[in-house]
Structure 1
Amino acid sequence: MARDGEELTFRTRGVSGLARRLGLLVPLLFTAVVFAWPLGVLVMRALDDSDSTTLTQAWSRTGALGLLGVTALQAAVSAVAAIVVAAPIVWLLSRVALPGTALLRVIVTLPFVLPTVVVGVAFRALFDGPLEFLGIGPGWTSIIAAHTFLNVAVVVRVVCAAWQRVDPRQVAAARSLGASPFRAFVDVVAPRLLPAVAASFALIFLFCSTSYGVVVILGGGSARTLETEIYLQGIGYARLPDAVALSVLQIVMVLAALGVARGLGSARVPQSGVASHAQRPRGATAVAAVAVLVWIGLWLVLPIVTLVVRSLRPGGRWGTAGYAAMLDDTYGASAVASLRYSVTSALLATVIAVAVGLLTAAALTRGGGFVARTGAVLSILPLGVSAVTLGFGYTLALAELPYEVAASPLIVPCVQALIAIPVVVGVMVPALEQVSPRLRDAAATLGARGLRVFLTVDLRLTARSLSAAAAFAFVMAIGEFGATTFLARANTMTLPVLIGSLMGRPGADNYAAAMAASVLLVAVSAVVVAAVEFAASARTGERRRIGADAA
C-alpha cells in the first residue's frame, strides 16, 4: 500500500513537472513573438551601420544626453512629489479607522489605473478652469502635478502594507520607556517604512520616465523627453536612425531603473506577525483625519470632478454637446465606434493576459531553479521597455510583413495584453503561494492529475484573486496609449488614441468630444476598481468575523 502511494506521488510529481514546463512554453512563445521580435528588429536596426551613422553620432545629433537628464530629473521630482502628497494618506489608511474605507481606497487607486491621456486632459481642464488663477499653463509644473496624481496610489499601497506589518506592541514599549509619539515613530516605525518608501520612489521614477500621454497633452509642445522625442523622430520626421538610437538609450535607462526598483522591492520589512490596529479618530486625530480627507479631495477628486463638469460645460454653457459630438465621424472613426473597438480589444487582451499570466504565475509558484528564474524574467520584461519604444519597434517590424498581416486587428490586443501580463502575475503569485501543498497532495491521492488538481484546488481557492487580476488587466488594456499610438489604424482606433487626436484638432466640438470620451473611460475604470476594492473589503470583513467567532 505504501509502495502504491509512493508510486502515485512520483507519477503525480512527474506529470506536474511536465505540465509546468509545457505551461511555461506558452509564455515563452508569446513573449518571443509579441515582445522580443519587435525589440530585436529595433536593436538590429540600431546595429546596422549601412547609413554610416553610429549610435554616438545619433545621440549627439538629437541631444540625447540632455533629454536623458531632463527625463530623469522630471521623473525624480515627480516621485518625490508623489511621496510627499501620499504621506498623510498613508497615515490615515494605516492608523485611523474610518467608515467607508473601501470607498476611500477606490478614490486613491482610481488615478493609477486611468489612461495617461485622460489624466492629461483632466489636468488641462483643471488648470484652464478652477485653478486658472494659479497661472499654471502647459509645461513641467502641470506635468509633474499630473504625475503626482497618477502615482499617489503606488506609495499608499506599498507603504501602507509595510506599516500594517509593524508590531504595535513595539511602539507601546517605546512609549512606556518615555518616548514621545514622534520619537516612537522615528525610532520604531520609520526604519521599517524606509525600504517601502525607497521602493515606491524607484517604481514611480520608472513609470514617470516612460510617461508619454501626460507629456504630450500637457507639454504644450515645449516639454520634451526621450519618449516624446522617439515618436517625433520616428513618426514626425521619419528619421529612423535617430529614433532607434534614442530607443536604445531609453531601454538602458528603464532597465537600470527597473533593476533598482526590484532590488529595493526585494528588501524585506521585519515582520512580527501582528497587524497594527487602526484606532477611531478622537480629538486632534479627528481634526487631522478631516484635514487629510480635504487633502485627498484637492489632489485626487478635484481633477476628476473638473473633467466631468467641463464635459457638460465645454463652452461655458451647460449641455450634452460633447457627448453628442462623440457620434461625429467627419474625420474618421467616431468616439462611439472607438469605444466599441476599445472594449472588444480590451476583453480579448484580458483573456490573453490572464491565460499567459496565470501560466507564468503557476510556473513561478510550483517550479524552482531555471523555471522560477525564467518565470520571474517573463513577469517583468514588459515593464523593462517603454510603451513608446515597443510601439516604435512594432512600426519597424510590421513594415517588413505583408499588409494583410500588418493591418491585423489582433495586433493591438496582443500588445495590450503584453502590458497587462505583469499585473496578472503580480496578483496571482501571492495568491497561489497561499494554497497549501497538502491540498494538492490530497487531491492527487484521490486520483486527480496535474491539470485536474490545478483546476479544482488552485483555481477554486484563488478565484477571487483571478477575478481581480482580470479586472485590472482589462482597465490597463483599455487605457493603453503609448504603443497603440504607433499601431492604431482606421479600423483599430482605440479611444485613448482618439482622445489624443481630438485634443490636437482645432474647434470646440473636438475639445468637447475629448472631454466626454475621457469621462467615459473614467467611469469604466471607476466601476472596475470599485468592484475589486469592495470585493476585497467584503472578503477581509468575512475573515475578521470568522476569526472573532473562532476566538
Structure 2
Amino acid sequence: MGRSRVALKFNLGRGVLLAPLIFLTIFYFYPLVSILSVSLFPAGRIDLSGFSEIATSAYYHRIVWFTIRQAIISTVLTILLALPCAYLFARYRFPGRSILLALTTLPFVLPPVVVAIAFTSLIGRGGLLNRLLMSQLGLSSPPLQFEQTFAIIIIVHVFYNFSIALRMMTGFWMNQSRRIEEAARVMGAHGWRLWWTIYLPILRPVIAASGILVFIFTFTSFGVILILGGVRFATIEVEIYRQTTSIFNLPLAAALSLLQIAIMTAMMLAYTRLQRNLPLELQATRHTLQNLSTRRAYTLIILLVSFIAMMIFTPLLALVVRSFMSSTSGTFSLRFYKMLTVNTRSSILFVPPVDAIINSVKFAFITTLLASVLGMMAAYLLARRGVFFARWIDPLFMLPLATSAVTLGFGFIIALDEPPLNLRTSPMLIPIAHTLVALPFVVRSLLPALRRIPPNIPEAARMLGASPVSVWWLVELPLMLRSLVVGAVFAFTISMGEFGASLFIARPETPTLPVAIFRLFSRPGAESAGQALALSVILMGVSFVSFLVIERLRTPGTGEF
C-alpha cells in the first residue's frame, strides 16, 4: 500500500510537471529556437550579420536607447502616481471602492488600438477637448497637438500600466501589520517622515517587483508606439514588426527578437526572485479597512476619485461619447452600431465586424479552458513543498509574460508552417498564442491560494481514506475555487483584448475583435472609423464586466495582479 501511494504521488507529480512544460516546449521554446536558427543560420551556415548590424548601426542604437528611455520614464511616473493611490485603497473603505478598483484595471486589457482611439477622441486634432477649446476660445486651429509626440506615448503607457502597480502595491499593503506604524507615530513620526522611515522600506520589495513588471510591459510596447508614435518613434518591438512585414529581413528581425528576449529574461528572473520573497512579507496580521471618519479622509478620497476620473475615465468616456455621435450633425445616433453588419466598402473579402465579436468570444472560451487547466497544473508544481527545482521552473512559466506578443507571432510564423506542426492556417493558433499570454496570470492568481492551504487539511483527508481525486475535489478545489475563477476571467479578458500576436497570425476570414478594430481604424472614411468606435465600446464593456467579476470574487489583498 505504501509503495502504491508513493508511485501514485510520483506519477501525479510527473504528470503535473510534464503537461504545462510540454505545452511551453512546443509553442514557446520551439518557436524561439526557430527564431535563433533563422538569425544565426539563415543559409545553413552561421551568419552573425544581423547582430553585427545591430552592434554597429547608429540607427539601431537609437532604437535600443529610445526603447530603454521611454520604458524607464514610463515606469518611474507609473510608480509615483500609483503609490499614493495604493495607500488610500489599502487603508480606507468607501462606497464604490470595488467598482473603482475594477475600472482602474480596465485599461490594462484594452488593445492598443482602442486606447489610441480613446485618446484621439479626447485630445486628437478633432477630439472633444480640442473642439470645446476651439468653440469657447474662438480658435481656428486645435490648440492641443499631442498626436505622434513623445508625450502621448508616455501618457498612454502610464494609463495602461497604472493598474498593475496599483493592484500589486494595494494587495501587499493591505497585508501589513500596523503595529510598526503605530509605534512610529507614538515616537513622533508623522507626514513625510513616516513615509520615508516606515512605508517606503516596508514597500521596497513590491515597489521593485511592480516596477520591473511595468518596465517589461513598456519595454515591449508595440501597439502604442505603432499607432500613436507614427514614423518618428520606434521601439525594438516595432522594428521587429517592420523588418518582418515590410522589409522581409527575417535574420535581422530574429536578431532583434533575441536581443529583446535576453533583456526581458534577465528582468523576469529578477521579478520572480523578488516575488518569491513577497509571500514571506505577507504573513503579517491582516488589518481591516478604516471607515471615512475625518475631513482629511474624505478629502483624500475625493482627490483619489477625481484623479482616477481624470486619468482613466475621461479618455474612455470620450470614446463612448464619440461612438454615439453622428459624424455629420454631431447629435446622438446609433448609426455606427447598426453598421456593424454593413459592408461599407462593397468588398468581396468583407467580414462583418459582428463576426469578429463571435470569433473573439469563441477563441476566449478555448483560451480560458486551456490556460485554466495548464495554469492549475503549473501552480500545483510551484506550490508543492520540497520540490527543489521549483525556484528554477517558476521563471519558465513567467517567460511568456516577458516575451513580446510580436515575437511570439513571429516565432509562430517561421516555426509552425510545416509538418508535423503545420498550424499556420489553423484557427487554433490564435487561442494557443492567447494561452501563452494568459498563462502567467492564471499561475500568479492560483499560487497564493495554493500556498495558503494548510498541509494538514488534505493530509487528514487522506488519513481518513479519501483518494487523491476525492481530496482534490472535496478539499483543495473548494479552497482555491475563487482564485481559479479569477484566473479564468483574467484569461478570458486577456484573450478578448490581445492584439500583437493576433495581428501576425489571424487569418483574413477569422479576425479577432482587436484586429477588426485596427483594420477599420486604418481605413479612410467616417463610416469605418465609426464602426471601430462601436466595436471598441463593446470590447471595453466586456472587459469592464470581467474585471468587476474579478473584484467580486478575489480575496482582497491576495494575488500578484
Question: What CA deviation, in whole Å up to 9, does each residue of 1:124-147 have, x standing for no partner?
Answer: 222122343432122221121111
**Secondary structure in 1 matching 2:554:** helix
Question: What CA deviation, in whole Å up to 9, does each residue of 1:215-265 have, x standing for no partner?
Answer: 222112322111111111101121212211211111122222223333443
Which whole-Å CA distance do the structure 2 matches of 1:64 and 1:234 have between them? Answer: 15
Which whole-Å CA distance do the structure 1 matches of 2:292 and 2:384 have between them? Answer: 42
Q: How far off its partner does 1:181 sit?
A: 3.6
Which whole-Å CA distance do the structure 1 matches of 2:102 and 2:282 have between them? Answer: 28
Question: What CA deviation, in whole Å up to 9, does each residue of 1:512-543 have, x standing for no partner?
Answer: 11111111110001111111212337x89xxx
Contact map agreement 1:114 1:522 (CA 8 A) in 2: yes
For residues 507 and 284 of structure 1, do their structure 2 counterparts lie closer, same or farther at Cα, with a shift above 3 Å needed? same
Q: TM-score, normalised by structure 1?
A: 0.91
Contact map agreement 1:163 1:276 (CA 8 A) in 2: no
Which whole-Å CA distance do the structure 1 matches of 2:268 and 2:440 have between them? Answer: 13
Contact map agreement 1:192 1:270 (CA 8 A) in 2: no
- The residue number in structure 2 matching 1:384 is 402
Q: How far off its partner does 1:481 sit?
A: 0.8
Unmatched tracts of structure 2, length 5 or more: 131-142
Greater CA drift, 203-212 or 166-175: 166-175
Q: How far off its partner does 1:281 sit?
A: 4.3
Q: 1:441 aligns with which of 448, 459, 464?
A: 459
Q: How does 1:258-269 map to 2 (within 5 A)?
A: 258-268=268-278, 269=281
Q: 1:153 aligns with which of 163, 169, 187?
A: 163
- The residue number in structure 2 matching 1:15 is 8
Which whole-Å CA distance do the structure 2 matches of 1:457 and 1:468 have between them? Answer: 19
Q: How far off its partner does 1:345 sit?
A: 0.8
**Secondary structure in 2 matching 1:104:** helix
Q: 1:273 aligns with which of 285, 298, 309?
A: 285
- The residue number in structure 2 matching 1:58 is 53
- The residue number in structure 2 matching 1:43 is 36
Which whole-Å CA distance do the structure 2 matches of 1:487 and 1:505 have between them? Answer: 20
- The residue number in structure 2 matching 1:196 is 206
2:337 matches 1:323:
yes
Q: How far off its partner does 1:109 sit?
A: 1.7
- The residue number in structure 1 matching 2:89 is 93
- The residue number in structure 2 matching 1:30 is 23
Question: What CA deviation, in whole Å up to 9, does each residue of 1:163-192 have, x standing for no partner?
Answer: 223332322222222333432332222211
Which whole-Å CA distance do the structure 2 matches of 1:62 and 1:37 have between them? Answer: 32
Aligned residue type for 1:55: G
- The residue number in structure 2 matching 1:364 is 382
- The residue number in structure 2 matching 1:497 is 515
Aligned residue type for 1:158: M
- The residue number in structure 2 matching 1:548 is none
Aligned residue type for 1:97: R
Q: How far off its partner does 1:37 sit?
A: 1.5
Q: 2:310 aligns with which of 277, 287, 298?
A: 298
Which whole-Å CA distance do the structure 2 matches of 1:501 and 1:131 have between them? Answer: 26
Which whole-Å CA distance do the structure 2 matches of 1:61 and 1:99 have between them? Answer: 56
Which whole-Å CA distance do the structure 1 matches of 2:179 and 2:211 have between them? Answer: 29
Contact map agreement 1:215 1:228 (CA 8 A) in 2: yes
**Secondary structure in 1 matching 2:128:** coil
Greater CA drift, 81-90 or 48-57: 48-57
Aligned residue type for 2:215: F
Which whole-Å CA distance do the structure 2 matches of 1:267 and 1:25 have between them? Answer: 26
Q: How does 1:166-181 map to 2 (within 5 A)?
A: 166-181=176-191
- The residue number in structure 2 matching 1:130 is 128
**Secondary structure in 2 matching 1:462:** helix
Q: 1:68 aligns with which of 64, 67, 90?
A: 64
Which whole-Å CA distance do the structure 2 matches of 1:245 and 1:209 have between them? Answer: 17
- The residue number in structure 1 matching 2:78 is 82
Unmatched tracts of structure 1, length 5 or more: 1-6, 541-551
Which whole-Å CA distance do the structure 2 matches of 1:77 and 1:32 have between them? Answer: 35
Contact map agreement 1:19 1:450 (CA 8 A) in 2: no
- The residue number in structure 1 matching 2:196 is 186
Contact map agreement 2:68 2:219 (CA 8 A) in 1: yes
Greater CA drift, 189-198 or 293-302: 189-198
Aligned residue type for 2:97: T
Which whole-Å CA distance do the structure 2 matches of 1:304 and 1:198 have between them? Answer: 29
Q: How far off its partner does 1:15 sit?
A: 1.3
Which whole-Å CA distance do the structure 2 matches of 1:11 and 1:398 have between them? Answer: 41
Aligned residue type for 1:105: L
2:247 matches 1:252:
no
**Secondary structure in 2 matching 1:63:** helix
Contact map agreement 1:321 1:509 (CA 8 A) in 2: no
Which whole-Å CA distance do the structure 1 matches of 2:58 and 2:186 have between them? Answer: 62
Q: TM-score, normalised by structure 2?
A: 0.89
Q: Cα RMSD over matched residues?
A: 2.3
Aligned residue type for 1:500: F
Q: How far off its partner does 1:366 sit?
A: 2.4
Count matched residues: 532
Contact map agreement 1:168 1:277 (CA 8 A) in 2: no
**Secondary structure in 1 matching 2:534:** helix
Q: How far off its partner does 1:267 sit?
A: 4.4
Q: How far off its partner does 1:373 sit?
A: 4.0
Which whole-Å CA distance do the structure 1 matches of 2:475 and 2:176 have between them? Answer: 32
Greater CA drift, 479-488 or 179-188: 179-188
Contact map agreement 1:89 1:296 (CA 8 A) in 2: no
Q: How far off its partner does 1:403 sit?
A: 11
Q: How does 1:453-472 map to 2 (within 5 A)?
A: 453-472=471-490
Question: What CA deviation, in whole Å up to 9, does each residue of 1:317-358 have, x standing for no partner?
Answer: 431222123213435322111110111011101111111111
Q: How far off its partner does 1:271 sit?
A: 5.4
Aligned residue type for 1:38: P
- The residue number in structure 1 matching 2:502 is 484
Q: Percent identity?
A: 34
For residues 246 and 404 of structure 1, do their structure 2 counterparts lie closer, same or farther at Cα, with a shift above 3 Å needed? closer
Q: How far off its partner does 1:314 sit?
A: 5.4
- The residue number in structure 2 matching 1:289 is 301
Which whole-Å CA distance do the structure 2 matches of 1:369 and 1:63 have between them? Answer: 47
Q: How far off its partner does 1:492 sit?
A: 2.6
Which whole-Å CA distance do the structure 2 matches of 1:78 and 1:106 have between them? Answer: 22
- The residue number in structure 1 matching 2:134 is none
Aligned residue type for 1:505: R
Contact map agreement 1:98 1:281 (CA 8 A) in 2: no
**Secondary structure in 1 matching 2:93:** coil
Contact map agreement 2:63 2:234 (CA 8 A) in 1: yes
Q: 2:547 aligns with which of 515, 529, 538?
A: 529
Contact map agreement 2:216 2:264 (CA 8 A) in 1: yes
